[in-house]
Amino acid sequence: MIEQSVTLEESETGTTARVTYLVKRLESAVRRDLDAAMQEQGLTTPQYAALSILRRHPGISSAQLARRAFVTAQSMQVMVAAFVRSGYIERLPSKDNQRVLCNHLTDAGHTLLTLCEQSADKVEMKMLDSMDEATIETLRAVLADCVQNLSRP
């Protein structure tokens, strides 16, 4: 693979690259590396995302999980069914509405997610390798601001 350096100047025109372009390049690179890392654990990146959301929000419904994981409800139903078959999650009726099934990680799901988090940590460490802690915290705050700005109507 040919190594491409990312600079703020486009070589042919001398114009500054759009921030949205750099964000998309970063997203593509992160997704590529996360896909490879999660494949080693037998998961896809969206499956990893769903499991990590369940750890942060135990007991959410599949519909809520789909919205938070940026997949369709139908895709999440397939994913949840596979997780149940694999023993990574269990579904229990909601205390408020017995017709709603709430998703919870099992011990096996927690174990798998721990392995996935270790792999994701390596991807993140590689991405942030040239930055000191202050720069990383600034980046985190700026990215959070960008998400917040785009969340407003």
CATH of the domain at 102: 1.10.10.10
Looking at residue 5, what is its pLDDT?
Answer: 54
> Does 18 reside within a domain?
no
> Does 25 reside within a domain?
no
Whose CA is closest to 83, among 129, 52, 118?
52
Whose CA is closest to 101, among 110, 114, 90?
90
> Does 4 reside within a domain?
no
Contact 32, 65 (CB under 8 A): no
> Does 47 reside within a domain?
yes
Range of the domain at 91: 30-120
> Does 128 reside within a domain?
no
Question: How many domains are contained in the chain?
Answer: 1
- For residue 82, which phi and psi values (nearest 5 degrees)? -65, -40
Looking at residue 11, what is its pLDDT?
Answer: 54
> Does 77 reside within a domain?
yes
Per residue in 86-99, pLDDT tens? 999 999 998 888 88
Residues of the chain with pLDDT under 70: 1-12
Q: Token digits for 23?
A: 């964000």
> Does 111 reside within a domain?
yes
> Does 16 reside within a domain?
no
